[in-house]
Amino acid sequence: MNTFLPLFPLKLVAFPGEQLNLHIFEERYKQLINECINESKRFGIPAYLNNQIEYGTEISVERVGKAYADGQMDIVTIAHRVFRVIEFYRVAPGKLYAGGDVVFLDNIADQDFAKQQQMVELTLELFDILSLSDSFTVGDQLSAFDIGHKIGLSNQKKYELLQIEQESSRQQFVIDHLKESIPVVRDMESARERIRMNGHFRKFDPLDF
């Protein structure tokens, strides 16, 4: 069944559960956000990638962080369900902002415990290489989306992950990405250390032939 959503296209991908802090300054989006606040309704952020709009995420306004005299505002939002745009309206009827008819994707909660553990272990390994271990909190309920927005995925990779409806398949997607990227990051960090050491006095153990 199609649902109409006010739309705020952006060149970003928001995962369900993710918090987004947005600065609202255009008149059309001031109208959109004020309506969402006053009428307790949600809007959508479709990812504008590759010059097209197809998939996005439903968004709720959690609070206004700061309101400016000219109507601009800083808002805190939370992402919810993933949708596919069936019909996009550059200007919604009678509004300044865009809109669209959307269908919400299923979210199949078929978590695989072994994959969950592997995702977390690989993420910890990546963060250890980058000396960022303190910025990652391990929890029993971490989803592929939770991890996906912490590991530096490109927008294109995020977009691919967003479209996957089964959690077990999302877990595998994240695992595959980490397995590919960790060796590359490790080599980059080794190269960085070699560059740092260039020109320094270094002590080498004698070779025993």
Confidence at residue 202, expressed as pLDDT on a 0 to 100 scale: 47
User: Among 5-9, 10-14, 91-95, 189-193, which is the least confidently predicted range?
Assistant: 189-193
Distances (CA, A) of 50 to 55, 109, 142, 164: 12, 30, 30, 19
Nearest to 168 by CA among 90, 95, 94, 115: 115
- 101 vs 131, which has greater pLDDT? 101
Confidence at residue 190, expressed as pLDDT on a 0 to 100 scale: 74
| 25 and 116 Cβ atoms separated by less than 8 Å | no
In sequence order, which residues have a C-beta less than 8 Å from that of residue 125 and are 6 or more positions away? Answer: 178, 182
Examine the pLDDT at 189 and tell me if it is beyond 80.
no
Helices 167-197 and 113-129: crossing angle in degrees, nearest 10, is 20
Task: Tell which wins on pLDDT, 50 or 201.
Answer: 50
* Digit-coded pLDDT (tens) for 88-121: 999 999 999 999 999 999 999 999 999 999 999 9
Per-residue pLDDT at 207 exceeds 80:
no
- The shares of helix, strand and coil residues in the chain, as percent rounded to the nearest 5, are 35, 30, 35
**Other C-beta atoms lying within 10 Å of the C-beta of residue 161:** 21
Beta carbons within 10 angstroms of residue 70's beta carbon: 8
The domain limits of the chain are: 3-104, 113-197
In terms of pLDDT, which residue wins out, 209 or 124? 124
Residue of higher predicted confidence among 141 and 71: 71
CA geometry: angle 59, 43, 20, nearest 5 deg: 35
* Mean of pLDDT over the chain: 90
Asked if the model's pLDDT at residue 203 lies above 70, the reply is: no
| DSSP conformation letters of 65-98 | EEE-TTS-EEEEEEEEEEEEEEEEESS-TTSSSE
| pTM for the structure as a whole | 0.86
Task: Please answer whether residues 109 and 116 qualify as being in contact, where contact means their C-beta atoms are separated by less than 8 angstroms.
Answer: no
pLDDT of 15 reads: 97
Question: Are 30 and 59 contacting, i.e. CB atoms less than 8 angstroms apart?
Answer: no
For residue range 35-62, list pLDDT tens digits in order.
999 999 999 999 999 899 999 999 999 9
Q: In the predicted model, what is the mean pLDDT of residues 201-205?
A: 50
Which class in CATH covers the domain with range 3-104?
Answer: mainly beta
